[in-house]
């Protein structure tokens, strides 16, 4: 039956490759996540020399990061539906890559605070949704069903790889050309690694004559609980279900840490008495364990329902986030591993929530409504940590709040039951493998 559907669709060149094109989409998401995260992690490394040179407070620099995320969150309300169009994701990625590159190069020439906020925060913020979040959340899950866990593990590894590779590289560039040259260097890299891959993006496998996962295979018995057939909800149907808003609250609560902790890791390690180079090494440890976490939690997501996986990540992270308070000396660098393992797990699995509950046909529209809440909270994380330092002289208060936010996520996920969603689909339309509606 699947072969008949496939033969009725026009086949484009991706369908004639000797491997499944979905993995190309995964690589593109990895590359874009890598370079998009670089714009955030660069702030952690560059913040201290910028502060010393320009006389700004740490909070005044991190407020630019907050504005960048908030502008990105606001734009998702509009861009989410656009990502459901046939060529929408590709167009978004190209335009976002141009904006991101221009804004970062321009930051190298700022001399006043308002210029930094306008270029890095506002202009750069418009690039956040298209160059990273919507491609990852609304495109990659469309290409996979049974292999979503491993696909998202690879696709989301870009941000973890960036944390592993870029801080030491930025530290070297910073020493060679100063903080201004480092921003320009990042802007050029961003242009190369976002604009060129964008032209290879296709919205979903059906657009090129393929099936999710490259074909339909039997579901192993030990994975039946993870791979549940769900009806494809429209946006209007999804927003009317209480479980959607419970999920929004849960994921938004957990989103306080993914930017708040990594973006201040270098300053926190410096506060603990480490050099900038040693602190950057700590950031690399975070990146390494963040990448490893994607595979561990992604492996579990293919065997257990995503609700169970998110609850497990939340419990681990609630304990891990405040542990830096009690660590001193070189032992403190181990905190990066704990933080990376928890935060990396959330980044690698949170995009699996929406297709698991609401199907994939209207994924862009649903993510466009849900993701801004997560992004808005995520945007407040770095500023909260900076305020914790500026007002109390340390990061203790901020780290305790990070732990509490994870407990709030766990509590909400316990309420996000899935039985009604799975049972809501009529027998003839229950499978998520049903043909997604064409739009655009």
Longest CA span, the chain: 67
Q: What is the pLDDT of residues 232-283, one digit of tens each?
A: 898 889 999 999 999 999 999 999 998 889 878 888 888 888 887 788 788 7
Q: What is the pLDDT of residues 326-344, one digit of tens each?
A: 888 778 888 999 999 999 8
On average, the pLDDT of the chain sits at: 82
* DSSP tag of 209: T
State yes or no: pLDDT of 155 exceeds 70: yes
Question: Are the beta carbons of 409 and 353 closer than 8 angstroms?
Answer: no
390-to-45, 57, 121 alpha-carbon distances in Å? 18, 8, 21
State yes or no: pLDDT of 1 exceeds 60: no
Identify the pLDDT of residue 315. 97
Rounded to two decimals, what is the model's pTM? 0.72
Mean pLDDT along residues 374-396: 85
Lowest-pLDDT range of 4-18, 59-73, 160-174: 4-18
Two structure tokens written together for 164: 């592993």
Fold exhibited by the domain 2-214+223-429: Growth Hormone; Chain: A; (1.20.1250)
CA distance 413 to 209: 37
Give me the residue spans of the domains in the chain: 2-214+223-429
Q: What is the pLDDT of residues 305-314, one digit of tens each?
A: 999 999 999 9
Which H helix or E strand runs over 155?
A: helix 148-155
């Amino acid at each position: 039956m699947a072969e008949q559907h496939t033969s009725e669709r026009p086949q484009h060149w991706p369908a004639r490759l000797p491997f499944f094109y979905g993995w190309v989409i995964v690589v593109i998401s990895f590359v874009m996540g890598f370079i998009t995260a670089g714009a955030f992690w660069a702030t952690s490394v560059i913040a201290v020399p910028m502060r010393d040179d320009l006389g700004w407070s740490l909070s005044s620099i991190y407020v630019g990061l907050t504005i960048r995320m908030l502008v990105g969150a606001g734009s998702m309300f509009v861009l989410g539906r656009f990502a459901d169009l046939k060529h929408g994701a590709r167009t978004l990625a190209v335009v976002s890559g141009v904006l991101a590159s221009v804004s970062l190069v321009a930051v190298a020439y700022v001399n006043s605070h308002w210029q930094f906020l306008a270029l890095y925060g506002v202009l750069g913020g418009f690039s956040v949704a298209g160059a990273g979040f919507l491609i990852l959340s609304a495109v990659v899950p469309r290409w996979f069903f049974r292999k979503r866990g491993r696909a998202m593990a690879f696709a989301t590894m870009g941000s973890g790889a960036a944390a592993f590779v870029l801080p030491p590289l930025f530290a070297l560039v910073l020493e060679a050309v100063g903080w201004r040259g480092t921003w320009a260097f990042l802007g050029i890299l961003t242009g190369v690694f976002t604009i060129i891959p964008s032209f290879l993006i296709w919205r979903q496998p059906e657009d090129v004559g393929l099936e999710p996962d490259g074909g339909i295979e039997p579901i192993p018995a030990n994975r039946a609980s993870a791979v549940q057939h769900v009806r494809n909800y429209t946006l209007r149907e999804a927003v009317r279900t209480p479980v959607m808003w419970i999920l929004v609250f849960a994921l938004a609560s957990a989103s306080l840490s993914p930017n708040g902790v990594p973006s201040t890791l270098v300053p926190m390690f410096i506060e603990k008495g480490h050099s900038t180079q040693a602190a950057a090494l700590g950031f690399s440890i975070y990146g390494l364990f963040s990448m490893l976490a994607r595979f561990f939690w992604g492996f579990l997501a293919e065997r257990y329902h995503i609700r169970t996986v998110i609850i497990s990540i939340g419990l681990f992270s609630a304990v891990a986030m405040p542990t830096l308070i009690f660590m001193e000396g070189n032992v403190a660098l181990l905190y990066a591993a704990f933080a990376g393992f928890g935060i990396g797990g959330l980044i690698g699995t949170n995009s699996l929530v929406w297709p698991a509950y609401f199907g994939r046909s209207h994924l862009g529209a649903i993510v466009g409504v849900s993701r801004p809440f997560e992004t808005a909270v995520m945007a407040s994380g770095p500023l909260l940590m900076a305020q914790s330092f500026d007002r109390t002289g340390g990061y203790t208060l901020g780290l305790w709040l990070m732990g509490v936010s994870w407990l709030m996520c766990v509590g909400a996920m316990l309420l996000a039951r899935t039985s009604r969603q799975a049972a809501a689909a009529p027998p003839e339309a229950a499978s998520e493998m049903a043909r997604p509606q064409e739009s655009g």
